[in-house]
Structure 1
């Protein structure tokens, strides 16, 4: 029984001391997610897929040439190519905006990760990650496609998330992680300031 208690206490001691490792793993997770998703923004299918979110957002719709809900006529399935619809997306600035967004997302991921080595860079990255995830979560209010549509089954609307909605709601975990990383980076910056005073 004592050995079991001793093992339990040792496990708790290790778990209690692993906070810094956990924070660094959050940084690595944000790096992987942001660089991967940001990189995908250079592919047409991904650029076309974010159109409903951007077109309906009061914060981002001005990046596009066309107004919502015109995009509904030009939706493409992932991997589908239609020359007329592709041309509409070219005119709409779908691809240009997506590539710019991709660069921003990848930059945020890299800055957040670099917080392991530089608290100031980590602070900037985490702050930007928080702003970005709040923007993404705003799609739950602005984008009709995040809720199951009324197609006759009787199951539709809030709280029934569509595939797009389930994708968006996951950003609550990224937001929480970014806040933890922001706090850790802020502590690091404060420690640097105290050393210079």
Structure 2
């Protein structure tokens, strides 16, 4: 039994297992950014991020009227022409499309990292930086916490649906960091291997030159 346990641990800890895990993490990060980025071009998704953007000191200036967002919120699947018109005039959809484009780029670069480490390194770096912005919403967005509507459980630490959605980016932060570290190590090993080849090739050339000279 102990021998089986050790073999299982060795299999999980093998270099191939690690490489599969990193590749899987790249794909997972790419799926998140590509899927959510594409949805940013759909009105309901753009509407849903309105509270985050309107309350963010780093993003609210993208909106034309961030202070009045609460009066124009809609539920997912709901169509209210008047509120939709306000979202248009507020630049809600223009900002969302811009954000979606950035997320699509990050997802694409991270996915390309399966074949091109340098492009993947940039994608992993951007994927690592993104959660710092989204996690700041827990501080700036009142809708991230359960409101005081009569129940005893409200405010910190009681995350609302929006807050639970945001806090999951902690896992994205850690995963992107692992990909970033693994990619950096691979690039360093590749550079060292290339340098060793150059030295070896230079030695061969010098040896041939000496042989001809003698």
User: Normalised by the shorter chain, which TM-score bucket?
Assistant: over 0.9
- Give the match for residue 119 of structure 1: 117
- Give the match for residue 93 of structure 1: 91
RMSD: 1.2
Match of 1:103 among 101, 118, 126: 101
Higher alpha-carbon deviation: 15-24 or 172-181: 15-24
Which consecutive segments of 4 or more residues in structure 1 shift more than 6 A? none
Deviation at residue 6 of structure 1 after TM alignment: 2.9
- Give the match for residue 159 of structure 1: 157
Alignment partner of 1:10 is 2:26 = no
- Distance in structure 2 (CA, Å) of the matches to 1:115 and 1:164: 31
CA displacement 1:127-183 (0-9 Å, x = unmatched): 101111110111011101000000011211000000000000000000000000000
- Give the match for residue 72 of structure 1: 70
- Distance in structure 2 (CA, Å) of the matches to 1:48 and 1:33: 19
Deviation at residue 196 of structure 1 after TM alignment: 4.5
- Distance in structure 1 (CA, Å) of the matches to 2:189 and 2:180: 14
Greater gyration radius = 2
* Aligned positions of 1:178-193 closer than 5 A: 178-193=176-191
Instruction: Tell me the TM-score normalized by structure 1.
Output: 0.94
Deviation at residue 193 of structure 1 after TM alignment: 3.0
* Ranges in structure 2 where 5+ consecutive residues have no aligned partner: 196-214
* Ranges in structure 1 where 5+ consecutive residues have no aligned partner: none
- Give the match for residue 47 of structure 1: 46
- Give the match for residue 20 of structure 1: 19
